[in-house]
Amino acid sequence: MRRRRPLPDSPARRWLAARTGIMLTMVLVTVAGLLGALGGMGRIDLTLYDRAVSLSGRPASPEILIVMIDDDSIATLGRWPWSRTVHAALLDKLGEARAVGLDIIFAEPDRAEPAVDAQLAEAIRRNGKVVLPVVLNRLPRATGHEPPLESLAQAAAALGFINVELDTDGVLRRSIWTAQVGTALWPHFSLSLMSVGGEAQQALQFATAQLAAGQTRIPYAGPPGHLRTVSYISVLQGNVPPEWIRGKYVLVGSWATGLTDAFPTPVSHQANGMAGVEIIGNMLQAARQNISYTVASPWHNALAAALPVLLLCLGLRVLSPKAALVLNGAILLAVLPVTYLALRFGQVWFPPTATMLVLALCYPIWSWRSQEAVLRYMDNELKRLQREYPPVLNEGRTHTLLVNRSLEDRLGKLREALARVRNLRRFLTDGLDGMPDATLVFDPRGRLQFRNRAAIQYFRSLGLRAPRHGQLAADLFQRAITDERNRQTLTEALRHTPPDAQDSPWNVDMEVRDQAGRDLILKCAPIRTDEGAFAGTVATLTDITVIRQAERKREETLRFISHDMRAPQNSILALVAMNQDSLNGVQQSDALARIAMLANRTLRLVDDFVHLTRAESMKIAPTELDLSELLREATDDFWAPARARHPHRDRRTPAHRPGARRRHLAAAGPEQPAGQRHQIQSVRWPYPLHGRA
């Protein structure tokens, strides 16, 4: 059995469209979440991260000083490596420092001068705050390490590893603060400096927090050269102010060309890299300021990528295409600033490319699906309109279906359908406007939406303003209807009764009387949609004044017939009954005379009634008559009867003969000139002439 497809406006169709939107939203949100959980787009996210770190710089800490082994120092002291007595002399110059970090590897003894190792160890011991580096064999899971000379290690205040782990693109972003080597847990060189400098508790708390945070990255304070630096030879010669060294963390490391261990960093794209000793200085400043950039976990990153997509999809469902495009652009442009702010102030990095990619695809995909849904709905509605279009207009009915499914073809069909609808609307509007009865159409809230020409004329005939669009039905009818009870009934129907109820007074005819005293029939009927939903009300005011006047005249006629015409007949019957047994000839003769008189009266009443009826039913139009000719015709017609009854001619005007029985003859003609006197002569007869009735 073939399954029946739902109608375009049916709840099933609407649920299908809503389900399609929900499924598309779920797909887009899921894709964004998966891409976010996988870390985004890799290299693109790393590039964006580098740019964000460059914009998140901080002022260099005045508590950190870097003593660099630069080209000037090498030119003055000779080729590298220098004698370890030189380093011992430098340590004596740094006696007032808070802690000294020698970023110089002393893994082997000096075979040329064996005694200098002891001198350096003694200088380290005299300083008492020197930290030496340890080199691990690998990161992050080290299996061995290379410590400095045993004598130096024993003299040092602390040891710390200086290894770094580069990303796949060779850029140093990650920070490893502790490393497990066997059973020993080695701290980073910067944390060892903090411990020696009296901040051991803070260093321990920071290291513990970084272990719990997982993958962290170095929060560089600025580009290469951002931290305060002095030349090695300047310190050795005493050219550096003592306050620059007193109570400061001093780092000593290579900076010279070809000697430094420089690494590419997010903030060194415009340089050849950042020296290892400056990287340690940046990590020391970050640890002291308790700042560390954390990469969001896959779960958090998936959530951060999916939420903007979900917000956009919810907006696409309810906004117009233009507003949806603006929302899409706004959210897309807001991703990078929000990501930067999260890194700058929240110290958490969310790779944004997953969100940006799905956001960029949301509007095209959603527009495609929306366009397909709209076009499908348009096709169904056009086919439905083609089937249901009423053949009331004089236009050809097309039977072609949508063969070419292009957008232009559909727009052409839509234009044809809209033209049909406009023609049908014009047909209905002209039909309503041409109705003789006042017709008003109201919306479901009882506000006027349409009124025809007869309604405008009717309200103007009452001296009222023509009905306005949006005017309440109760206001209109209360101003026109005079009967208080009818107005109250209508008001109650409008205010308290739902117009879509089956027993609503809207469906009942009501006879009312307006301010002009006219009798009207008020008919109100609900208008319903194709699905049966209430859409409004149509009200008509039919003038039945003529009908009511005819009914009153009919009642008067019936009273006339029942009384005035029956009275003579009853008298005749009474006279017949009184004289049917009488043998008196005189009495019978008198009775017959009375009967004749009553019969003539009845005939006159009937004759007058017939003439009155004809006069009321005939159309009266002015006709020109020759009065003299009319008089001659009347004389000829009544000459014989008049001679038999001995008439008396009287030339006086009717005004001089009050009480006489007259017959006037009048003719309609052009207005007579002023100053001429015409008097109509009348003939007084002793008896009425009914012979030619």
**Same domain, residue pair 135 and 43:** no
Q: How many domains does the chain have?
A: 6
Residue 691 lies in a domain: no
> How many angstroms separate the CA atoms of 206 and 216, rounded?
12
**Same domain, residue pair 141 and 164:** yes
Beta bridge partners of 448: 442
Alpha-carbon torsion, ordered 58, 59, 64, 65, to 10 deg: 120
The pLDDT assigned to 3 comes to 46
Give 522's contacts (C-beta < 8 A, 6+ positions apart): 477, 481, 490, 509, 510, 511, 512, 539, 540, 541
Lowest mean pLDDT among 92-106, 446-460, 577-591: 577-591
Mean pLDDT score of the chain: 79
**Same domain, residue pair 478 and 528:** yes
Q: Given pLDDT bands bounded at 50, 70 and 90, which one contains residue 561?
A: low
**Same domain, residue pair 516 and 575:** no
At 392, list the tokens.
């009331």
**Same domain, residue pair 481 and 563:** no
Residue 466 lies in a domain: yes
The per-residue DSSP string of 599-648 comes to HHHHHHHHHHHHHHHHHHHSPP---B--HHHHHHHHHHHHHHHHHHT--E
Beta bridge partners of 64: 249
**Same domain, residue pair 471 and 400:** no
**Same domain, residue pair 495 and 417:** no
The per-residue DSSP string of 97-142 comes to SSEEEE-----S--SS-THHHHHHHHHHHHH--EEEEEEESSSSS-
**Same domain, residue pair 157 and 276:** yes
Identify which of 540, 543, 541 has the alpha carbon closest to the alpha carbon of residue 519: 543
Q: What is the pLDDT of residues 254-285, one digit of tens each?
A: 887 777 788 999 998 877 889 999 999 999 99
> Do the Cβ atoms of 277 and 251 come closer than 8 Å?
yes
Residue 3 lies in a domain: no
Among 515, 543, 571, identify where a domain stops: 543
Among 234, 256, 290, identify where a domain stops: 290
Supply the CATH number for residue 519's domain.
Answer: 3.30.450.20
Q: Give residue 497's region: left, alpha or beta (phi > 0; psi -120 to 50).
A: beta
> How many angstroms separate the CA atoms of 45 and 647, rounded?
133
> Do the Cβ atoms of 186 and 178 come closer than 8 Å?
yes
**Same domain, residue pair 411 and 519:** no
> How many angstroms separate the CA atoms of 316 and 328, rounded?
9
At 503, list the tokens.
């027993």
**Same domain, residue pair 176 and 40:** no
Enter the pTM of the model.
0.63
- SS (HEC) of 152-168: HHHHCCEEEECCCCCCC
**Same domain, residue pair 135 and 262:** yes
Q: Given pLDDT bands bounded at 50, 70 and 90, which one contains residue 677?
A: very low
Q: What is the pLDDT of residues 400-417, one digit of tens each?
A: 444 556 777 777 777 877
Whether pLDDT at 52 is above 80 = yes
Structural domain for 402, as ranges: 389-430
Among 543, 570, 593, identify where a domain stops: 543
Whether pLDDT at 18 is above 90 = no
Q: What is the pLDDT of residues 81-117, one digit of tens each?
A: 888 999 999 999 999 999 999 999 988 888 878 889 9
> How many angstroms separate the CA atoms of 202 and 130, rounded?
19
**Same domain, residue pair 167 and 186:** yes
Distance set, CA 653 to CA 578, 626, 634, 662, 685 (Å): 45, 20, 18, 11, 15
> How many angstroms separate the CA atoms of 687 and 395, rounded?
74
Work out whether strand 178-181 and strand 145-146 pair parallel, antiparallel, or are unpaired.
unpaired
Lowest mean pLDDT among 43-52, 53-62, 92-101, 387-396: 387-396
In this predicted model, which residue has the larger pLDDT, 560 or 523? 523
In this structure, how many other beta carbons lie within 10 angstroms of the beta carbon of residue 153? 16
Q: Given pLDDT bands bounded at 50, 70 and 90, which one contains residue 521?
A: confident
Amino acid at 496: H
> How many angstroms separate the CA atoms of 205 and 197, rounded?
15
Q: Give residue 300's region: left, alpha or beta (phi > 0; psi -120 to 50).
A: alpha
Identify which of 637, 615, 57, 32 has the alpha carbon closest to the alpha carbon of residue 302: 32
The pLDDT assigned to 405 comes to 65
Residue 351 lies in a domain: yes
Q: Given pLDDT bands bounded at 50, 70 and 90, which one contains residue 16?
A: low
